[in-house]
Structure 1
Amino acid sequence: MEDREKDGIGGNPRKYVWFTTLYNARAYYPILAVLFLDLGLTLDQFVMLNLVWAATIFIFEVPSGALADTLGRKTLLVAASVLMVVEMSCLLFAPKDGGWLLFSLCVANRLLSGLSEAAASGADEALAYDSMPEENREEAWDELLATAMRFRSVGFVIAMVIGGLLYDPAIINKTLPDNLEISAELAHRLPVALVLMQAIACVSITLGMIEPVRKIGGNAWEASQHAMRLTLKTARWVFTTPRTLAIVVIGLSIDSIVRNFATINSSYYRMIELPAWSFGFIGAAIGLGGYIVPGIAARLNKRFSTWTNFAIIAGLALTGLIGVMPGNSYWCLLPAALLMMTMGFLAYTISRSLNKAADSSKRATVLSVKGLAFNLGYGLFSLAFSRSLASTEGLGADNALRQVLLWQIPYFVIVVGLLLWWGHSRLTSGTATS
């Protein structure tokens, strides 16, 4: 009995670690863009799908939190896992070069993925936290969170490497007898099949969780309305407080461009003629390199103002954008890695600044508003990027991508430069009051 108390209700904390690891460590991440391209989509169609994904999360993030608090966190986690199974099935069985059927299944995949992300967001941590014994709960939670982060990091590295290797039929066939060689089309489905098995495991894990007894007031509709009113109220505070407005707007202007590149990076790697098996190793190396970013970001944020850190981040991002633009040699990997690791520096700076600006009564909702704004910004930039690619398709896929990467540079300089100029006084005149 004592062991059960220590492990939490129903072993939920331990199951949370396995769930968050299997749910997030997806083997198709390093080859995400080329996976859709090899199925028969164009790059602009793939980028457009990211708008669908971001919009779905934007719309359902707040209601899903309210549903988790009323219908139960376990219910939402089971739903997220089942949605993951269906989204992976759509991708696994989508017909290659299937025209509108292919595109429809890919849209369904992105919609279901967004719904699943929204359903799981926060519900997993809330369930694990509420399942822990009240005595020394904060210390135990810190330890559990650190364990979960370590498991996710290891899972991410393993998934990156395996995903890239499975996607390359040449690598797989080297290990198989001649009479068992597999086709490229089958190899391209293997990372998705692996993630489908993880999704089934997530369903099993979440079904085995136990909902802690807690007081639930109202119903799902009332809770959703309350959550929406709270979010709108907090959003008004964020966007009418000069400091928080500057943090969010400058942050999303940089994040939307950098995150878009991170989404299409496998298509970029293919353009510079890297073999598919290397994509996973590159992703794993960048992920491991990201371990040093928080330490550097912490030192710079302690030494310099928020505005100065944004200026440093903008300079690093611009260096990366200029460096990746030629897309004609392996050396372009260096600015690509710089660009993606800049995301960690940006995330740390924004989180630190917003947590400092908001009081505890609204801090979680402020971060939620930030997430909603960032998804909206990312979705809109994905739309613009997609339309730009479509307008240059006569140049050929590689040249079209180079052209749009070139256009990003003046856009970034003008938009981010103006926002930094506008935000200087707002980010150097003291902290916001709540």
Structure 2
Amino acid sequence: MTLKDILLIRNVRNFLIFRSSYFARFYYPVFTLLYLDYDLTLSQFAMLNVVWAATIVLAEVPSGAFADTLGRKKLVVLSSLVMFIEIAMIAFVPTGNSTIVFMVFFVNRVLSGLAMALASGADEALAYDTLKEQGNEDLWPRVLQIQLRIASTVGIFVTLIGAAMYDVDFMAHIFQFFGLDTPESTRDLMRIPVFATLLVALVAIYAAFDMEEEYQPVVSGAGKIATMKASLKLTLNAGRWVMATPYVLFILLYYALFEHTSRMFLTMDSQYYRAIDIPIIYFGFIGAGVSVLKILFAGQSRRLAESMSPKAFILVMGIATMATYYWISLGWSIYGVIPALILIFIIMTMNIFISYHLNKKTESHNRATVLSFKGLMFNVGYGTIGILYAYYYKVLSQGFSEAEIEQHIDFIASLSSFFYYFTFLFVVVGVIFYVKDKKQAIF
């Protein structure tokens, strides 16, 4: 099947549009700096991301179950609307009162987590089951590859423009061209990438509404109580199935470990780049380079995920990730960008591997629920590492002078925690896997 034929499949096309626009956020290249310019501290930033993760933990699996009972399209549509609202909140929040700002961002993180939970599993299940009904489920890795390339292409423009929107010198020329007062600091620019993201959110809303619900819900016309019971029953059954299926359980455990550790670091990548003396204007070029990397290596990632045995794949990726975190902890100026790029390639490949193997082992009737368990396990890990890192950084920074903190020496010193954290958990999960695998082969 050609690329054109794949794009003619309505749900697959809308899945690609939805995913690409949902995550096309112009403030991502300066995510941490944006929070700091709103007068939030780095510890508050980490804790707000814990709130985000905790919300997903609470809403992830129930939302997946509702997707399998009420219908997947309804949840995708609701997710896009909630996402629009949460972005609008930080676009229009008045500054000046740090307490009000923190509370608005707190609600923003709750709504953002809810939006993520609502869409998680539902959009993927809609697209995958459409292919399965046509007998083309083997095309799913290729769809993921296409999605990666489209999102990366969009990401090139989003990161370049987003970083440029946050560069005072560049935006001064734009302001002068339109006869406006030139910005004096990034605080004068911080809302611009947020407003740009708000416009792109409308594309995600369109794609969500244009999806088709081809899957018949388990419950129809049985009332809210019956629907709730069916959702909870489906959740419990899916949970039992995950725990009783070592293949799926360990796939999810390894996914959660790789994903939540890398996400915590990559969430703070703008602070990392600033700490290793990268000018803000270059953040966009780095982001564009990441997108080009994904486009060029998406095919290689898919081939690795499909061709290597699960054991060999996980071991190789684990060792590579440990080496990468160690390199990051060195805090090398300029060259410190390289391990960040390697980490992104590792996670990109892991995500294709996980989705490919997880969908192969999951039945259609509870696909969205099981995929939601994937998000649940990731966010439990993400919330945990967020709390640990916020506490560790707060304690660590007390041993540095104000001058050293201004030079971000304390932040660089905190990065070694990622190497030790990942290595410890990878060994623990590996030992548990080895014991289980000796009794009965898992992969």
Same fold per superposition (TM over 0.5)? yes
Which of residues 363, 386, 403 is equivalent to 2:413?
A: 403
Q: Does 1:195 align with 2:194?
A: no
Relative distance call for 1:123 and 1:213 in structure 2 (3 A) is closer
Amino acid at match of 1:271: A
Amino acid at match of 1:415: L
Amino acid at match of 2:273: Y
Question: How far apart are 1:35 and its partner, in Å?
Answer: 0.9
Amino acid at match of 1:408: F
What pairs up with 1:262-301 in 2 under 5 angstroms?
262-300=266-304
Q: Secondary structure at the match of 1:36?
A: helix
Q: Secondary structure at the match of 2:331?
A: coil
Q: Give me the whole-angstrom Cα distance separating, in 1, the residues matched to 2:11 and 2:301.
A: 33
CA contact (8 A) 1:70 1:220 kept: no
Of residues 219-228 and 95-104 in structure 1, the stretch that sits farther from structure 2 once superposed is 219-228
Q: Does 1:345 align with 2:349?
A: yes
Amino acid at match of 2:197: V
Question: How far apart are 1:126 and its partner, in Å?
Answer: 6.0
What pairs up with 1:237-316 in 2 under 5 angstroms?
237-300=241-304, 304-316=308-320
Question: How far apart are 1:113 and its partner, in Å?
Answer: 0.9
Amino acid at match of 2:195: A
What pairs up with 1:22-421 in 2 under 5 angstroms?
22-68=21-67, 73=72, 75-96=74-95, 98-124=97-123, 138=136, 150-177=149-176, 179-183=179-183, 184-203=186-205, 217=220, 218-300=222-304, 304-355=308-359, 365-394=369-398, 395=400, 396=405, 398-421=408-431
Q: Give me the whole-angstrom Cα distance separating, in 1, the residues matched to 2:352 and 2:367.
A: 15
5+ unaligned residues in a row in structure 2: which ranges?
1-6
Q: Give me the whole-angstrom Cα distance separating, in 2, the residues matched to 1:310 and 1:299.
A: 15
Q: Give me the whole-angstrom Cα distance separating, in 1, the residues matched to 2:123 and 2:305.
A: 30
Question: How far apart are 1:370 and its partner, in Å?
Answer: 2.3
Q: Secondary structure at the match of 1:330?
A: coil
Amino acid at match of 1:329: S
Relative distance call for 1:102 and 1:308 in structure 2 (3 A) is same
5+ unaligned residues in a row in structure 1: which ranges?
1-6
Q: Secondary structure at the match of 2:389?
A: helix
CA contact (8 A) 2:126 2:215 kept: no
Report the number of matched residues.
Answer: 425
Q: Give me the whole-angstrom Cα distance separating, in 1, the residues matched to 2:250 and 2:70.
A: 36
CA contact (8 A) 1:53 1:113 kept: yes
Which of residues 399, 422, 430 is equivalent to 2:432?
A: 422
Question: How far apart are 1:246 and its partner, in Å?
Answer: 3.3
Q: Give me the whole-angstrom Cα distance separating, in 1, the residues matched to 2:257 and 2:118.
A: 26
Question: How far apart are 1:317 and its partner, in Å?
Answer: 1.1
Q: Secondary structure at the match of 2:115?
A: helix
Q: Give me the whole-angstrom Cα distance separating, in 2, the residues matched to 1:148 and 1:309.
A: 22
Aligned counterpart, 1:3: none
CA contact (8 A) 2:27 2:194 kept: yes
Of residues 389-398 and 103-112 in structure 1, the stretch that sits farther from structure 2 once superposed is 389-398
Q: Residue by residue, what CA displacement relative to the aligned partner does 1:30-80 show, whole Å, maximum 9, x if unpaired?
A: 211111112111112111111111121222123334444565555434432
Relative distance call for 1:287 and 1:407 in structure 2 (3 A) is same
Q: Give me the whole-angstrom Cα distance separating, in 1, the residues matched to 2:389 and 2:325.
A: 14
Q: Secondary structure at the match of 1:307?
A: helix
Question: How far apart are 1:25 and its partner, in Å?
Answer: 1.3
Question: How far apart are 1:381 and its partner, in Å?
Answer: 1.0
Q: Give me the whole-angstrom Cα distance separating, in 2, the residues matched to 1:365 and 1:78.
A: 17
Q: Give me the whole-angstrom Cα distance separating, in 2, the residues matched to 1:99 and 1:86.
A: 21
Question: How far apart are 1:230 and its partner, in Å?
Answer: 2.4
Question: How far apart are 1:310 and its partner, in Å?
Answer: 1.8
Of residues 294-303 and 276-285 in structure 1, the stretch that sits farther from structure 2 once superposed is 294-303
Question: How far apart are 1:186 and its partner, in Å?
Answer: 3.0
Question: How far apart are 1:159 and its partner, in Å?
Answer: 1.2
Question: How far apart are 1:323 and its partner, in Å?
Answer: 1.0
Of residues 21-30 and 89-98 in structure 1, the stretch that sits farther from structure 2 once superposed is 89-98
Q: Secondary structure at the match of 1:188?
A: coil
Q: Give me the whole-angstrom Cα distance separating, in 2, the residues matched to 1:18 and 1:407.
A: 37
Amino acid at match of 2:429: L
Question: How far apart are 1:333 and its partner, in Å?
Answer: 0.6
CA contact (8 A) 2:306 2:353 kept: no
Relative distance call for 1:432 and 1:311 in structure 2 (3 A) is closer
Relative distance call for 1:125 and 1:421 in structure 2 (3 A) is closer
Q: Secondary structure at the match of 1:392?
A: helix
CA contact (8 A) 1:32 1:264 kept: yes
Question: How far apart are 1:301 and its partner, in Å?
Answer: 5.1
Relative distance call for 1:427 and 1:287 in structure 2 (3 A) is farther
Relative distance call for 1:416 and 1:208 in structure 2 (3 A) is closer
Relative distance call for 1:98 and 1:200 in structure 2 (3 A) is farther
Amino acid at match of 1:196: L
Q: Highest relative contact order (Cα 8 Å, sep 6+), 1 or 2?
A: 2
Q: Residue by residue, what CA displacement relative to the aligned partner does 1:214-250 show, whole Å, maximum 9, x if unpaired?
A: 6751334433432332232332333344444333334
Q: Give me the whole-angstrom Cα distance separating, in 2, the residues matched to 1:315 and 1:145.
A: 25
Question: How far apart are 1:193 and its partner, in Å?
Answer: 0.5
Q: Give me the whole-angstrom Cα distance separating, in 1, the residues matched to 2:349 and 2:424.
A: 22
